[in-house]
A = this chain, B = another copy of it.
Amino acid sequence: MAQQKFATREEDYSKWYNELVYRADLAEHSDVRGCMIIKPYGYAIWEKIRDILDKKFKETGHSNAYFPLFIPKSYLSKEASHVEGFAKECAVVTHYRLKNAEDGSGLIVDPAAKLEEELIVRPTSETIIWNSYKNWIQSYRDLPILINQWANVVRWEMRTRLFLRTAEFLWQEGHTAHATKQEAIEEAQTMLEVYAEFAENYMAMPVIKGRKTESERFAGAEDTLCIEALMQDGKALQAGTSHFLGQNFAKAFEVKYTDKEGKQEYVWATSWGVSTRLMGALIMTHSDDEGLVLPPALAPIQVVAVPIHRSEEELAAISEKLNALGQQLKAKGITFKYDNDDNKRPGWKFAEYEAKGVPVRIAMGPRDLENGKAEVARRDTKEKISVDFEGLDEYIEQLLSDIQQNLLERAKVFRSDNMKKLDSYDQFKIEIEKGGFFLCHWDGTKETEARIKEETQATIRCIALDQEPEEGICMVTGKPSTGRVIFAKAY
């Protein structure tokens, strides 16, 4: 089978990304505008992401629940700023029945089955959930409510990109209710930490923990915390958000509780979410021109072994060794695949598993067998080493841990190489075109933020939580500033 020529990151980053998603068999466009099909290999990665996060949510006291897909149109209007941010582009259900056309031309929508009130396919579930919490909360004893939902949501998008921006996507949305402001603020911070820790330790993706400016906040939030990552093309990607919602939804849906003193108070809220967008972040953080590069912690197959043989006898002898290795690895909790498919040549397999980002590849031929060796190739550096078969399982275990570490370190180096302090707006306009995070002084006004966005397409990604206070002047207006904020062009 001839190897197809694929775009490199250098040649066409966007084409490289799209081709990679297809060649690694992660997802594809469906015929339904803006909706993707997540293929088994891509879904297996998402399952790992989901299972690890789900465990962390439960460890931090949350339970899962499930709320309706449909939201009555009127609910969306209840929280004023929320509707402005969300209501516009969404899928609207207006009818509940089809019927056969009288002329036999096929199915038509039955005009008699028009809904009294249209239903919106959830773009996010704050409204439907707070409408339920109203009935669940009477006293301080009912608080906190710590609920998460894994679900599909729909936001109609005209320009879509697999995983990064699709009309339908999968996500989790946490929705919590608290008796005090302080407790809600702490909850939002806790969940941001969960996301950041997951991004770094599993995705091997360094993130900046920060706070959004007012303009970039979630519609309905009083404070939006986020984790921001830097992709290889120098663009930022918001990988997760955690919102302190104040009492906005409690007031919109009249959710009050009786405190210990018998007084009625509005409930405090948070919401927080990550989505299949993380798949896009994962791909763009580590992958190279040969295909996907996966951190071992999220790889559906961590180790693949390929036999190289001419005769059946050779295959039998090699298989015995590699199957034994597979058993040892499985005992260590390492996922192993032995690919002895006779229809495909080793070279084809090597390219295939490289494209799919399998962290470690073992090859074994007759010479290796004779010498008690195996060839070990690591996906991250593409290094190949001949290793003693004796103790190979332990070598691989250590190697997987090294790869996980190396990917994070490499991404950290890339980010620090592409993160600069800038004080001149003229220089900013030049540098922002090359990509990266830029730490600049800003006067804190919406107007300046909007002007920068209009003139450069860059946005304030966040104000880092660990940002040192620093007196300075806004690079655009010269007005005073108390600290640098982070600008970038973003996905």
Contact = CB atoms under 8 A, between A and B. Distances in A.
Interface of A: 28, 30-32, 35-40, 43-44, 46-47, 63-74, 76-77, 83, 87-99, 106-107, 109, 118-121, 128, 131-132, 141, 147, 151-152, 154, 156, 168, 170, 343
B156 A107 contact: no
Contacts of A141: 343
Given A35-B70, A36-B68, A94 B95 contact: yes
B31 A72 contact: yes
A76 B107 contact: yes
Nearest to A344: B141
B91 A93 contact: yes
Contacts of A38: 65-66
Contact of A70 (B73, B91, B107): B91
B88 A65 contact: no
Give the 8 A-B CB pairs with smallest separation, nearest first. Answer: A35-B68, A40-B63, A38-B66, A92-B95, A96-B156, A32-B68, A94-B94, A91-B93
Nearest to A89: B97
Contacts of A131: 31
Contacts of A168: 68-70
A65 B40 contact: yes
Contact of A94 (B40, B92, B156, B170): B92
Given A38-B66, A152-B69, A93 B92 contact: yes
Contacts of A88: 97-99
Given A43-B64, A97-B88, A98-B120, A83 B107 contact: yes
Contacts of A99: 88
A93 B106 contact: no
A30 B132 CA distance: 8
Contact of A43 (B31, B63, B87, B152): B63
A349 to B, nearest CB: 14
Contacts of A98: 73, 76, 87-88, 90, 92, 120
A147 B40 CA distance: 8
Of residues A46, A65, A156, A170, which shows the largest number of chain B Cβ atoms within 10 Å of its Cβ?
A65
A65 B26 CA distance: 10
A30 B69 CA distance: 11
A128 B30 CA distance: 9
Contacts of A30: 67-68, 128, 132
Contact of A121 (B67, B93, B170): B93
Contacts of A44: 63-64
Contacts of A72: 31-32
Contacts of A118: 109
B96 A89 contact: yes
Nearest to A46: B66
Given A37-B132, A40-B147, A96-B156, A91 B119 contact: yes
Of residues A76, A90, A99, which shows the largest number of chain B Cβ atoms within 10 Å of its Cβ?
A90
Of residues A32, A46, A154, which shows the largest number of chain B Cβ atoms within 10 Å of its Cβ?
A32
A43 B69 contact: no
A121 B32 CA distance: 12
A114 to B, nearest CB: 10
A141 B341 CA distance: 11
A253 to B, nearest CB: 11
B37 A65 contact: yes
Nearest to A93: B91
Nearest to A343: B141
Given A121-B93, A128-B32, A132-B30, A64 B40 contact: yes
